[in-house]
Amino acid sequence: MPNAQTELFGTSNNEGAVEVTGTNDCNLIVNVISAGTATAFLKVQYNNPSDGLWYDLLPAQDVSIASTGLQINGNIRVAQGAKVFGGVIVRVVGYGGNGIVSPTFGVIELFCTTESTSMPTLYIGLITTTNFQMILDLGFEVCGVVETPSCATIGVPHTYTIAWRAIL
């Protein structure tokens, strides 16, 4: 592994995309099969669409690959510049090697969770041959849908109009 910052495996073939506008909680998880040097690290970068440059997605949270097994960075806020609607291109880069030791990896995962503090809940009430009751609590704001009241508020019941047809 080179000492200088280098894209994983020296190629752009492993770049991907991620949408992080709805999160601040991401972790880079690396399964290190054979370790690098004590100073070797991996990190995730995103490509800023406005200037085409690469920036750290998780600033100051690089993952040490000096030991084998699952290595995980600490939780930290996602870089504000990466919060672009539609997502950004991402890549994994390594640095801090000695040019001789070649670490190997299993799965490398970027794991992000949303900021939603509650999970959607679906309740199916009484079902008859002519009627049914269904309550869906999304747990977050949903605007622009045919609903009552006009914009959902957490903890306030809402009625959504659903068109359906019974097939006999």
Residue matched to tokens 């672009």:
84
Of 78 and 153, more confident: 78
Residues pairing with 112 in the sheet: 26
Domains and CATH numbers, the chain: 6-113 (2.60.120), 121-160 (no CATH)
Average pLDDT over residues 65-94: 87
Tokens of 146: 């045919």
pLDDT at position 116: 54
Are 138 and 153 spatial neighbours (Cβ–Cβ below 8 Å)? Answer: no
Assess contact for 39 and 96: CB atoms under 8 A: yes
Per residue in 33-58, pLDDT (tens digit) is 999 999 999 999 999 877 889 999 99
pLDDT tens digit sequence for 18-37: 888 878 778 888 999 999 99
49: region left, alpha or beta (phi > 0 left; psi from -120 to 50 alpha):
alpha
- For residues 34-43, b (16+ Cβ closer than 10 Å) or e, as one string? ebbbeebbbb
Q: How do residues 111-153 score in pLDDT, each as one tens digit?
A: 887 655 555 555 555 555 565 555 555 554 445 444 444 554 5
